Structures are given as C-alpha cells and as structure tokens.
Amino acid sequence: MANQDHFVGNNTNQANVVSNLKTAFELYPDDDRWGYNDDALWWATAAVYGYRAYTDSDLLANAITSWNHISQYVITQAQADSGMQPHKNFSIEGTCNGATMAGGVFWRPTIDDEDINSITTGLYIALSAFLAEIEKNSTYTNAAIASANWIKTHNLNSDYLVLDTVNARNCTTSPSTELFTYNGGKFVEGLSVLATVTGDSQWSDLALNITNAAVKTSVWGGSDGIITEGSETTENSDEVGFKAAFIRGLHEAYTRTSNDDLKTLIRSYIDVQYNALLDLAAQGDSYSANWHGPPQNFTTWGQSAAIDVLTAVIDSNN
C-alpha cells in the first residue's frame, strides 16, 4: 500500500499504513513475534517503504532500530576469523569452499540455530541499502556490500538462480533444487538500490543477470510465463506470498535501471502476470492465488499475492 502511494504520488493509504505499522512495532519487541530474523526484516523494510512514501520519521526510526538489532546476527570478518559468533553456542566455519562467511545473516536469533539463508541476508541487503540511500551513511553501505558478496559467493548457482541455505557450523547446504522466487526477488531489489547508492556497475550487472534468469526459468514459470509457485487455493502458505515479494523486487529494479532492454523485460513479465490475474484468476475484485485460475472467492492470501502485481503494473505501464 505504501509502495502504491509512492509510485502513484499520493497519500491515499497513509493513515492505515502508518497506524498499523506503529501498532506492530509497539506490540512486538524488535518487530519479531515468532523468533525469525527475516520476519523482523520484513517489518523493517515495510517501515522504509512507509518512510519513503510519507516521510514519517517514526517509521524510519523503527527501521533503524530493527537494523541495529538484526546486525547482531550478521557474521563479521572478525567473527569469521575467530570461528565464533557471540550470539551462537557453537563454532562457526569462517570460510566455506574457500570464501569468507562474513556478511551472512542468521535466519533465527536462537543460540542453537545454525542456518544462514538467502531471504534473511537479502532482506538485510535491501534494508541496509535503503538506509544508506536515506541516511548517506557508509556503515549501511558497507553492510549491504558484505552481505551481497555473501550471496554472490555462496548462494548463487551457475544459472544465476539464488539458492536457499548454508549451515554456518559445517558448510552443508540446502538441496540445489530448493529454489524460490523471493530469494531472487529480494536480492535483485537490494542490488538495485545498492547500485544506485554506490554507482558500482557490478551490482546492476548482477541484478540484470539474476533478473534475466529468474523471469525465464521453468522452476516457477509455466511455458506461458505465468508464475506457478504458491498456487494453493484452499489454505494459506508461505509460498503464496513469495511471488509477491519477487514482483516487488523486480519492480524496484525496473524503477532504477537505465537499461531499456531490462525495463522492457521486467515490464513484459509483470504484464503477463497482470493479464493472468485479470483473465484467468479474477472474480470481481478477488483474485485466486493460482494465477492460472480458475477464479475463486475472496481469500486473504490471494489478495496479498496479487497486490504487488497490481501496484507494479500501474507504474511500469504509466
């Protein structure tokens, strides 16, 4: 909703966005109700979107508080060198496959959770880059760079699809077939902002390669280009929301790139999803989570999955 206002240039949703975000921050310490760092980062990124749309300083302050909290769970170079992370009760591997583990962000804050994953690290990249852009502070820039290098080095396959998880204790990884839209989408979003902040073309080039792979893969795309991931119609699931975050990340890249071919690629991909929603999945103003259809009655998860497509298409076709 905040992004829709930002890209359209109005404040239609301001009262609802600001009020509900502030309520969430008041209710849940560190923006984390369930004990997952990625959850806290989703809320913090939402606060940045709200600040960008409405310049509400309280939202920015909450985002910074969350960044400071999550930064405790980022492996620093010094921690990688020592093999210890102060918030974990096990020794960490300082390098995996010859590359430093510095920049990786633990999925959970619990002392015994060993997993570093791409969504938590990607969210941290995006939040850091947005804060660097807003605050003009190199601390955030350097954090984004370190974490971007972690995904680039450890969790990107040869086809430029973003992998999921690395175990910090023993360097084991999730299966190479465990691929999700949102890992690439959030990484592309963070890279696009980081490229703007630094002016370093390596990040925009990487975002281009990941985008090109992500919109053409058959892992989550049908032969017609429509996203197939998260198509559950009878119950909510995490995967339903993944594709919304994917589209949101692509849209951020669209708004920032000067590459006309990339703009055309992203616009065309978003248009495919939009036309699928309207032609195959819509029942009035309600949208099925299965974008191939058939239409169904209102569900919260179907609407949530659709909203980023509906927001992006307004801007990309303006």
Q: Count of domains in the chain? A: 3
The answer to whether residue 314 is domain-embedded is yes
**Would you say residue 29 has pLDDT above 90?**
no
The answer to whether residue 301 is domain-embedded is yes
pLDDT digits (tens, 9 = 90+) for 302-316: 999 999 999 999 999
Domain boundary (20, 55, 73) is at 73
The answer to whether residue 206 is domain-embedded is no
Task: Report how far residue 233's alpha carbon sits from residue 10's, in angstroms, rounded to the nearest whole number.
Answer: 33
pLDDT digits (tens, 9 = 90+) for 232-286: 999 999 999 999 999 999 999 999 999 999 999 999 999 999 999 999 999 999 9
| 49 — pLDDT class (breaks 50, 70, 90) | very high
Whole-number pLDDT of residue 32: 78
Whole-number pLDDT of residue 191: 98
**What is the pTM assigned to this prediction?**
0.97
CATH code, 150:
1.50.10.20
Whole-number pLDDT of residue 311: 96
Task: Return the amino acid letter for 254.
Answer: Y
The answer to whether residue 215 is domain-embedded is no
Whole-number pLDDT of residue 318: 82
Domain boundary (196, 230, 246) is at 196
| E-only strand ranges, 63-191 | 95-96, 99-100, 115-117, 165-167
> What is the domain extent for residue 165?
74-196
Whether residues 185 and 273 fall in one domain: no
Classify residue 291 by its DSSP letter. Answer: T
pLDDT digits (tens, 9 = 90+) for 160-211: 999 999 999 999 999 999 999 999 999 999 999 999 999 999 999 999 999 9
The answer to whether residue 205 is domain-embedded is no
Domain boundary (31, 58, 73) is at 73
Find all residues with CB under 8 Å of 283, minimum gap 6, and list them.
295, 296, 297
In 3D space, the residue among 274, 276, 178, 180 whose CA is nearest the CA of residue 230 turns out to be: 180
Q: Please state the rounded mean pLDDT for residues 122-127.
A: 98
Which pair of structure tokens corresponds to residue 279?
């032609």
Whether residues 118 and 63 fall in one domain: no
The answer to whether residue 207 is domain-embedded is no
